[in-house]
A and B are shown apart, each in its own frame.
Chain A
Amino acid sequence: MSTTSEPARQQAAEVDILEELKAELAHDLEEERPPHAGPLAQVAAGLVTLALGVAGMVLALGYGLGSLTEPGPGLWPFAVAVAVTALSIAQIVFGREAQDTEQFTRSSALTGLGVLSLIGLAALLPVIGFEVPSLVLMVIWLRFLGGESWRLTAVISVVTVAAFYALFVLALSIPLPRLI
């Protein structure tokens, strides 16, 4: 052990317990998630934010920076966009080793399907009311995303939509586009 003084050693050991706890917790929680994506993901993340930052800078310049005595509408967004750009560059250059990303797995397609079903709901809601799209959404999520049996899917879908109907329409009289 190093020959540092007692209080410093105590503090160092205390901090170490903390770090060790954090690391152990992180490990335990990690076991259940997909593995880390590689450095490519880190760089990609940095590139996306870099693009946002640069776009922000360009657009903000267009709105006029004004001066410090008379700030224009673009001054603050420009300053922030500069920060985003600079930090993104730092991320691309220095951030490759971090382990905090996740790979996309086959089941990420499930998430994609979920998003599509939500878009479908939003698109159909004003057209045919909420009942049918909600029912379809429930079926998709229960049966296709959740792997539940048809029996259970049917029961839960109908009960849920009925409950929503009872709650929103009957009990609370909230205006929702609807068929019935």
Chain B
Amino acid sequence: MTIIVGYLDTPEGRAALETGIAEAALRDLPLVVVNSPRRGAPVDDDMLAPEQVSAIVDRATDHGVRVEVRQPLHGDSLAETLESVAREVDASLVVIGLRHRSPVGKLILGSTAQRILLDASVPVLAVKADR
């Protein structure tokens, strides 16, 4: 049993991480942070640098939570990759950050969060960024 956080270095992602850490501490479960950039290009803005990864690990251990950071690449669907990691680590909860998108934005760019919410096999906790 683990808790998964889908992480990007954005306010929403950081909010999701904080919530994930809190939940993990509460339930006394290990945390798996999934940072998944898109496969293909040599550089992806979503990819975390090693220092950022250690910062996450430090943050979690400060709260007494065991943490593992994974960085699998995704192809067509981030939701699918997240789902497969969830199955692999036997996740009991998925925490993601939610960003407000205008209807036009959703139409053109799509909503990964929606895919995750609809396709996930375990409860999903959607968190907004702190104002």
**A: which residues have CB within 8 A of B?**
146-147, 149, 151
Q: Which residue of B lies closest to A155 (CB)?
A: B108
A147 to B73 CA separation, bound complex (whole angstroms):
14
Chain B residues closer than 8 Å to A149, beta-carbon distance: 76, 110
A146 to B76 CA separation, bound complex (whole angstroms):
10
Q: Chain B interface: which size bin? A: under 10
Q: B108, A151: Cβ atoms under 8 Å?
A: yes
With A147-B75, A147-B76, A149-B110 given, name 5 new contacts (CB 8 A): A146-B40, A149-B76, A151-B108, A151-B109, A151-B110
A157 to B113 CA separation, bound complex (whole angstroms):
27
CB B70 to nearest CB in A, in angstroms, measures: 20
* Interface mask (B65-77 → A, CB under 8 Å = 1, otherwise 0): 0000000000110
CB A105 to nearest CB in B, in angstroms, measures: 16
8 example contacts (A-B, Cβ-Cβ < 8 A) are as follows: A146-B40, A147-B75, A147-B76, A149-B76, A149-B110, A151-B108, A151-B109, A151-B110
Q: Which residue of A lies closest to B108 (CB)?
A: A151
Chain A residues closer than 8 Å to B40, beta-carbon distance: 146
A143 to B76 CA separation, bound complex (whole angstroms):
10
A102 to B89 CA separation, bound complex (whole angstroms):
35
CB B112 to nearest CB in A, in angstroms, measures: 11
CB A139 to nearest CB in B, in angstroms, measures: 16
Chain A residues closer than 8 Å to B76, beta-carbon distance: 147, 149
